[in-house]
Structure 1
Amino acid sequence: MSERLFEVTDDTFEIRVLEATRPTLVAFVASWCGPCVELRPRLATLASARETTLQVALCDVDLNTATARKYGVRGMPTLALFTEAGLDTTRVGALSAAQLETWLDHQLAH
């Protein structure tokens, strides 16, 4: 995993995501989920490309059930964008690189 793409857990979610000084994209994933595995390289690329403006994290739903439950994660992968206001928006599915960029640009512009 890229150093810029990091994992969060039930124990680290608050400090790494909710108390972050910049927006954080959290991908709720599972090891058995094909689309989740497919999405990882795109997330690593995104984390590198936007390292000064956006954090990108992974949260394994099987290992971190409390966090997944708290945010209503049901489908995988679920992409959740957190800003200083908390949970801003979510998308479900393995978005293409272009879809991911367009969605984030739109959300972060508001």
Structure 2
Amino acid sequence: MSERIFEVADDTFEARVLDAVTPTLVAFVASWCGPCTELRPRLSALASARDTLQVAFCDVDLNAATARKYGVRGMPTLALFTDAGLDTMRVGALSSSQLETWLDHQLTN
């Protein structure tokens, strides 16, 4: 994975996401989740196309404390973190155009 696309765990979440200076889109996923698997390449392409965004994947089965802290109940859950903390969340495997529209709206407001 590139430096803007990475995995996070309970013990690395704060340093990699909360302390980041770059907005970070966290995908809360699970290995058994089909939509999560389908979403992964879209998010990787998104991170590659946007210099001002990083994407982190957090496996909820391996990192239950972080998932619980942010109230993750459905897979996949996308959470956008900015310098202000948790900005917004969406549940579901969004299409590429839905991802672009959602992020454009959130990052320009």
Q: Distance in 2 between matches of 1:83 and 1:40?
A: 21
Unpaired segments ≥5 residues, structure 2? none
Q: SS where residue 28 of structure 1 aligns?
A: strand
Q: CA deviation at 1:95?
A: 0.2
Give the equivalent residue in structure 2 for 1:45.
Answer: 45
Aligned residue for 1:44, secondary structure, equals: helix
Which sections of structure 1, spanning at least 5 residues, go unmatched? none
Name the structure 2 match of 1:86: 85
Runs (4+) of structure 1 exceeding 2 A deviation are: none
What is the percentage of aligned positions where both structures have the same residue? 81
Using the TM superposition, give the Cα deviation of residue 5 of structure 1 relative to its aligned residue in structure 2, in angstroms.
1.6
Aligned residues: 108
Secondary structure of 2:21's partner?
A: coil
- Distance in 1 (CA, whole Å) between partners of 2:6 and 2:97 is 22
Structure 2 counterpart of 1:33: 33
The CA deviation string for residues 57-85 of structure 1, in whole angstroms up to 9 with x for no partner, is 10000000000000000000000000011
Matches of residues 1-110 of structure 1 in structure 2 within 5 Å?
2-3=1-2, 4-50=4-50, 52-110=51-109
1:37-57 per-position Cα deviation (integer Å, ceiling 9, x unaligned): 00000011011011x201101
- CA distance in 2 between partners of 1:47 and 1:84 (Å): 18
Deviation at 1:22, TM superposition (A): 1.1
1:2-38 per-position Cα deviation (integer Å, ceiling 9, x unaligned): 3232000000000000000010000000000000000
* CA distance in structure 2 between the aligned counterparts of 1:105 and 1:46, rounded to whole angstroms: 12
User: Distance between the aligned counterparts of 1:68 and 1:47, measured in 2?
Assistant: 22
**What's the TM-score once normalised by structure 1's chain length?**
0.96
Q: Secondary structure at the match of 2:58?
A: strand
